[in-house]
Amino acid sequence: MSVFVQALEARRMCSTTAVQLTIGGYAPDQIREAYGFNQVQFSKNGKTIAGNGAGQTIAIVNPFHAPNIKKDLKVFNKQFGISNRDSHGDFALSVATPQGKPPIDVGWAQETSMDVEWAHAIAPAAHILLVEAKSDTTVDLFSAIDFARKKRGVVAVSLSWGWNVTPPEAPSYNFVFTTPANHRGGYKKGDGVSFVVAAGDNGVPNAWPDSSVNVISVGGTSLTLNSDGSYASETLLAQSAQSATVDYDADINPGFAMYDSTPVNGVRGWQLGSGTSAGAPQWAALLVIADQGRAILKKHSLDGTTQTLAALQSISSTDFHAVTNGGTAAGRGSPFADQVITDLVNV
């Protein structure tokens, strides 16, 4: 039986011209305000510290090579006034190719641009490790996850892909969704790792990986803002998978502003990203901000299996926005980021 990684979720480009100059979709400041990321602050020795992921690393695992990702991130950052540097003063993105340099795939390069840019937008002081698998086969992808989870500094792993049918070999790979022994994340030896996946956009009940394994599965909503930019409401997207742990905006209307200079069907430049694959890296960013707060208190980063999942299921329902027409398919809902992070810090 052959099982393939699901196709990229639908994207709507801003233009069909070769280079797009108009920027559409949500900007980082809009999303940070809507979900409350701009309210996150920590305190140390009487000083206020911004909740920005400082000292933590997000690993993003995608197949194939994105040739322009570092340059594209710089363009994105310049447009939105975001630093190119992490809290250590290094360039915010590093790329690992543990299986050798993969071939270029323009569709996956587009996906990588959205993942990297929006993880950085939400946690701008965190480091991002992009791990490129040499193909989209099960063995290559899970080998790349295994590499990512073992890298020093990594406290969250984001996967913007999955299968509509559980691969028959899936049980043999469940071990990769666990924290390696004696792992050192952003604090010290014994830190945990959490795994965040896109729940799927094809309307199947249980895209895999899902809530049946030790991952935070992110479903999709349509976010509406008030005229002043504040949060108004969210409605579950019908095509979102029905097995989400939590939710996040995934609607192409208006979508997320993203920059990708690798031509896809002749289109390059500013585009619109959407789908549950937009929510996975942003929830990973939320978790690294929580782990930043934990490190300030000299607490280990969260272990996904024993802490993160349990906490997300048990913290107050007031930490989450209720999703209209969501029911149990929406999981806990989308975050009041400042409240979720506060409760995760206190786990």
Distance CA(316)–CA(60), nearest Å, equals: 29
Q: What is the pLDDT of residues 213-257, one digit of tens each?
A: 899 999 999 999 999 999 999 999 987 766 789 999 999 999 999
Q: What is the pLDDT of residues 158-193, one digit of tens each?
A: 999 988 878 888 888 999 999 999 999 999 999 999
In a 10 Å sphere around its CB, with 0-12 CB exposed, 13-18 middle and 19+ buried, how is residue 209 labelled? buried
In a 10 Å sphere around its CB, with 0-12 CB exposed, 13-18 middle and 19+ buried, how is residue 33 labelled? middle
Confidence at residue 7, expressed as pLDDT on a 0 to 100 scale: 39
Report the mean per-residue pLDDT for the chain: 90
In a domain, 9, yes or no: no
Name the strand (E) or helix (H) holding 308.
none
Mean pLDDT of 41-63: 96
Q: What is the pLDDT of residues 64-118, one digit of tens each?
A: 999 999 999 999 999 999 999 999 999 999 999 999 999 999 999 999 999 999 9
In angstroms, the Cα distances linking 305 to 174, 213, 260 are 11, 9, 34
Q: Give the count of domains, the chain.
A: 1
- Give the β-pairing of 154-159 and 194-198: parallel
Distance CA(254)–CA(145), nearest Å, equals: 31
Confidence at residue 241, expressed as pLDDT on a 0 to 100 scale: 66
Distance of CA 321 to the CA centre of its chain: 19
DSSP 137: S
Say if residue 5's pLDDT is above 50.
Answer: no
Confidence at residue 330, expressed as pLDDT on a 0 to 100 scale: 74
In a domain, 240, yes or no: yes
What residue numbers bound the domain in which 103 lies? 19-345
CATH of the domain at 54: 3.40.50.200
Confidence at residue 58, expressed as pLDDT on a 0 to 100 scale: 98
Confidence at residue 20, expressed as pLDDT on a 0 to 100 scale: 52
Mean pLDDT of 275-300: 97
In angstroms, the Cα distances linking 200 to 8, 51, 108, 170, 332 are 10, 29, 16, 17, 17
Say if residue 15's pLDDT is above 60.
Answer: no
- The structure tokens listed for 256 are 């997320």
Name the strand (E) or helix (H) holding 232.
strand 231-236
Distance of CA 280 to the CA centre of its chain: 3
Name the strand (E) or helix (H) holding 139.
helix 138-150
The label of the residue with tokens 């290559």 reads 140
In a domain, 3, yes or no: no
- Give the β-pairing of 256-264 and 267-273: antiparallel
Confidence at residue 16, expressed as pLDDT on a 0 to 100 scale: 31
Confidence at residue 170, expressed as pLDDT on a 0 to 100 scale: 81
pTM to 2 decimals? 0.94
> Which residue, 192, 161, 209, 198, is CA-closest to 303?
192
In a domain, 6, yes or no: no
Mean pLDDT of 284-289: 98
In a domain, 12, yes or no: no
In a domain, 205, yes or no: yes
Distance of CA 338 to the CA centre of its chain: 17
Instruction: Please say whether the beta carbons of 128 and 120 come within 8 A.
Output: yes
In a domain, 76, yes or no: yes
In a domain, 334, yes or no: yes
> Which residue, 28, 245, 12, 187, is CA-closest to 119?
28
Confidence at residue 18, expressed as pLDDT on a 0 to 100 scale: 39
